[in-house]
Chain A
């Protein structure tokens, strides 16, 4: 089974890469004007979907929908309990830092909800390829397959397939030469350029490959590798219209802001690597398939501890090596650092506060990209990683995650109220929904968060594609120039309505609803549950509930402004038309999933949200040991077990609040934009300061420009100046001083001393010559006298001097 599954997913993963390579080398030659590129890419991703679906079916066939087989759950559950005494030992209160009050709670629910999973969850892991190998330290490309992996694979490939089809229609203009009306050249004309149809599909294929790489990743280093690769794909796709300055700037911004998150992620990786010595989730195996080094999860939550989170021994050891006074404590801090670091990467990728600024700008890319990359998949990768890495997060880190998610969901929702660019409204909505997911994970709602990830992927890609369909029809993003389009493009309008209803979590409380109803209720219920256990933090529940009201308001504001009322720009309205079939078919498919993806399949338990197959599959994928209450060592926070939120009392309260707030927001939108009871202009002038604040996106861009970008550039200039002004100045002046020193040396020593000596000797010699010249008179008699005197002197000297 393991080899079948891993090979299926491997193939599904590599097909887009093959497609990328084919288009890279043969792109323009595939069909007329590269039309064939779309077929290659679409073929690859659709095959990938088929393979993923096969894998999903195989998975369900082997492991059932819920970990404990559902049909005869009561019996099996009892049998499980007798078979594995571990489940009883799990109630042992002595397990450090863990309150296991949930154990019998689980029993109460276990029978009918599949909470009764006993023992470790089903997961396959292994390596395909070794990237680097230094004996004990290894970085590999491998897989970690559990229900979540299979589910995400299917979801990503399904949405990507829809978007590939959609893009065939949307990018149609790129098949021939394009005049870009947003780019004006220096001669005043608009830019004309050849189409880049094949290149778009080339990038999409690379993106699919990278995204699936994150999903299948068997270790966090591999996650990081593909994390960067999706980043670069996002860079290419945002900057697809490379001639537009705004697009290339947005692409740079996206990549650099993501790198800020990656900076944190690298710190997390270092903290893990430096102490644990492995990046593997499941464990490193040798050729025989035996685990030679336990994975990160096993080190943090050992089976012998009943999967309770403990600081890994290796981290304590590492702290001891550092000479920490209290290794236990320092080791725990190290674990927190690792968790926060990894989360930092997720903050960047999922555009959470304070790194959210790149996502709205990323809407410069073509709309299918916004639908695929910047709403359904890549930005959700951050949430996915938090979910994947969940066993390693301490309650302190989870609390941070919850706070960040809570801030993001509220802030983004408020900005969305005032945005008028249809894609930006959706972008802020994406931010807000990602905030919900993070928030859910942070308050202990693993299934709630992951469920929202999946439902959101469907309805948000649907919403984006509907907006793309509208933009395709009216050639503008501004909602202020739309209106009444419902009559021109009904399919788009009503599929989008489905998306809007799904995102606000519409449904009949306690009965049935669209997909968003299930996920949002689960989040709010868990938030309420968390608030009840941590009174200091219960404000977050109210923020999330308020966020739900705002969501309903801005989504229906968007829908009403676009599709209802009179056309605001008649010329655009007249030209509008329903999109071609290749574009609206995917809308219908996605609308179907947006409605039903989380619906309970069991007729008998139709009103029970946890009876949905999706929820049960996720429950099956829940990381070991996270289904129980546990509290932090440093911060006084208690993470309540998720099934606590399924209590009638909590769930009903949360469901009613969610319903009430959504209805409130919806009605407010109706008053303002449909029934026109209130005039939006008046409301706006009434709250002018707030409007300006929101309209300027809380001034984040300006703030970051002032405190990060300018100082960084200034610092760069200073350093460059330091090079020229200080170091080179010193070098140059050293040279100059050296030259003047040698010049002085030359002058004083050479000229005065050496030359002076030479000259002095010469002058003396000359003077001597002058002096000796005096006897040279030329008179013979004088010479004869000299000779005689000389001869006499020599004679006397020879006679007396030598004889003595």
Chain B
């Protein structure tokens, strides 16, 4: 198979890991040299991603904005890795992963630049840092579920040591907490991966789907593939399992592979369980309430650059996993649980904001603001507002785009916030909000930058935070008014905690804490880390289309695929019944359910007056209706 992008992408991902070998050869005591080499590597990675992004440059691994290519997976390559389990070394990128890839490279570069104050075990630090970067880049590029999982775990260990060795006073506690939380997520994810793997069968896919999922390179080789994996004859009972994420998506959306019950007849389906397990795994990473408590501790104890990476990149993996894996592979469960997803998002927004209001530690406050801001991401992903009969997905698309934008915007603003907290921590070695004050007079440039970045977090128009938040909140209305109103309420709390913190730290007549003499203006090194963040914050706020050009075709593509799935579940006959059903809305619900399930449309009913308004939805859908639904799914899958 011809793989022109194999080496460029491999080089991109593994360059940091390879560079660790060089680092090992360097003299241990030459800290400056080690840091410079590491920084050089991260800069190269960033420049490479920028070159990939620039329009007008052609090449194998270039991210194309051509109309026919932009929504699809690009620069795909695959090489067989562990053939006995059909595991492949399979990577590619689209508009969802590519911006996150650039963000990773960007934050990685800045975080390395922010690592200069590290003086303990510098070599080990840089080695772990670069390994971490390889893990992060790999997660966003992997298209094989197993490979994804490997990168996911590769990321975990360096992080554990970076927090546990270079962290603050309670570093061991924070590191083990981070590790256990994330490990729990990984284990659940692994279970889900295996569930999906052993229930998958590639032979169910049509020829076009096989090509689209890159199982076979082109239409011509389908026949050969089919004969190698016969669906009848002696080998008919030998399923062709796969870890291919794209193929799993197709299987989840167009076949009933994952619709069988797991434990008992009539119980929840495979994809329901897979969705729940995966979602918990990802949502720990996001993190959402109630599995967020690793974040404040990890952030507070981690050194500044690691906090930047954590907030800027690691949290995004949760959101990425949800949009790349949870939703497309398990659409049925996703539709069922949309309300749960949104509810978790809104609870995180409110909870994080309230908690941030009560914090006395500057970094902890910023950490809770991350919980709150990432709640927008979960909410935006979840607002499945396309319902029969129109299946208007415009608002959901807007929500998903807003969520993706919010991920990037939060990556910039929160990394900036952590960096800025780190700048003063390096000087005065404390973070007590009440023991600051008057920094504006002593560090005017720094304070100006800080106010800009914090306002970006506050969601001020013209800065990056605004776009994501406003798109998510606006799109929530058509899903649930109650949730939308609660999420709008958060703008008040956000303003309160950010302005209050700014007042206590930057304004006021004089500095109230220890080491006032150490408050010197920021150095050029710090300056050159903060300014790019400011520039991105402004550019994304003023010209958001620059990001949406890359992002929204793929996001829309994802949403369209899901809505197509939804429409297949609701046959045309149903639309005609719709009026009758609306009239019957108040009559015996059970009776109506039976009638409808015979007409194969149970799940796609608009569920009058409840779908949007909220609470009853869960109970409505919780009732089992296995037979009819499976019948519908099967028919739709074959049809």
Where the two chains meet, the residues of A that have a C-beta atom closer than 8 Å to any C-beta of B are 130-137, 183, 185-186, 191, 193, 221, 224-226, 228-229, 232, 235, 239, 242-245, 248-249, 251-252, 255-256, 259-260, 262-263, 266-267, 269-271, 273-274, 277, 318, 321-325, 712-713, 715-721, 723, 727-728, 731, 735
Contact = CB atoms under 8 A, between A and B. Distances in A.
A183 B507 CA distance: 13
Given A245-B508, A271-B477, A720 B290 contact: no
B397 interface: yes
Contacts of A717: 358
B11 interface: no
A319 B359 CA distance: 42
Contacts of A183: 509
B417 to A, nearest CB: 18
Contacts, number: 160
Contacts of A244: 509
B508 A248 contact: yes
A133 B471 CA distance: 11
Given A274-B474, A716-B356, 16 more contacts: A193-B441, A232-B460, A243-B441, A249-B503, A251-B499, A259-B496, A318-B478, A323-B582, A323-B610, A323-B612, A712-B357, A713-B357, A720-B355, A723-B293, A723-B296, A727-B293
Contacts of A263: 488-489, 491-492
Sorted nearest first, the 6 A-B pairs with minimum C-beta distance are A323-B608, A716-B357, A716-B358, A270-B477, A720-B358, A323-B609
Contact of A225 (B462, B474, B500, B582): B462
A132 B471 contact: yes
Nearest to A245: B508
B568 to A, nearest CB: 21
Contact of A720 (B359, B484, B607, B611): B359
Contact of B492 (A191, A260, A270, A321): A260
B513 to A, nearest CB: 12
Given A259-B491, A267-B485, A731-B293, A228 B357 contact: no
Contacts of A255: 495, 499
Given A239-B507, A323-B608, A713-B357, A132 B548 contact: yes
Interface stretch (B259-267, B305-313, B387-395): B387-395
Interface in B154-192: 177, 180
B554 to A, nearest CB: 13
Contacts of B509: 183, 185, 191, 243-245
A259 B495 contact: yes
B455 interface: yes
B473 A136 contact: no
Contacts of B401: 132, 134
Contact of A321 (B387, B489, B544): B387
Contacts of B397: 134
A256 B387 contact: no
A270 B474 contact: yes
A321 B398 contact: no
B5 interface: no
B453 interface: no
Contact of A132 (B476, B478, B545, B582): B545
Nearest to B492: A259
Contacts of A191: 509-510
Contacts of B503: 248-249, 252
Nearest to A728: B293
Contacts of B493: 712
A741 B496 CA distance: 45
Contacts of A232: 455, 460
17 contacts: A131-B467, A134-B394, A134-B401, A225-B461, A229-B462, A248-B503, A252-B499, A260-B492, A273-B474, A274-B478, A322-B611, A323-B612, A716-B358, A718-B354, A721-B358, A727-B290, A731-B293
A242 B293 contact: no
A712 B460 contact: no
B606 interface: yes
B611 A136 contact: no
A328 to B, nearest CB: 15
Contact of A256 (B177, B481, B499): B499
Given A719-B351, A731-B177, A323 B473 contact: no
A718 B440 CA distance: 32
Contacts of B495: 255-256, 259
Contact of B355 (A229, A242, A723): A723
**Chain B residues touching A, range:** 35 or more
Given A249-B503, A727-B290, A132 B467 contact: yes
A226 B293 CA distance: 37
B545 A133 contact: yes
A418 to B, nearest CB: 30
Contacts of A224: 461
Nearest to B484: A270
B566 interface: no
A252 B473 contact: no
Contacts of A235: 499
A277 to B, nearest CB: 7
Interface string B564-588: 0000000000000000001001000
B397 to A, nearest CB: 6
A132 B500 CA distance: 31
Interface string B394-413: 11011001000000000000
Interface in B533-576: 544-545, 548, 552, 556
B613 interface: yes
A252 B478 CA distance: 33
A181 B390 CA distance: 67
Contacts of A723: 293, 296, 355
Contacts of B610: 323
A180 B489 CA distance: 38
Contacts of B476: 270
A80 B260 CA distance: 73
Among B397, B401, B492, the most chain A Cβ lie within 10 Å of the Cβ of: B492
B438 interface: yes
Contacts of A322: 609, 611-613
Contacts of B582: 323
A377 to B, nearest CB: 18
Contacts of B473: 266, 270
Contact of A134 (B398, B484, B488, B499): B398
B355 A134 contact: no
Given A132-B471, A248-B507, A321-B606, A137 B492 contact: no
B606 A719 contact: no
Contacts of A221: 470
A716 B608 contact: no
Given A243-B507, A277-B394, A321-B606, A262 B355 contact: no
Nearest to B548: A132
Contacts of B466: 225, 228
A715 B485 contact: no
A273 B481 CA distance: 12
Nearest to B544: A132
Contacts of B506: 242
Contacts of B355: 716, 719-720, 723
A425 B293 CA distance: 50
B604 to A, nearest CB: 14
A719 B610 CA distance: 30
B500 A252 contact: yes
A216 to B, nearest CB: 15
A242 B439 CA distance: 11
Contacts of B356: 716
B496 A256 contact: yes
Contacts of B607: 323
A191 B478 CA distance: 54
Contacts of A270: 473-474, 476-477, 481, 484, 488
A242 B398 contact: no
A323 B394 CA distance: 19
A224 B467 CA distance: 12
A262 to B, nearest CB: 6
A712 B496 contact: yes
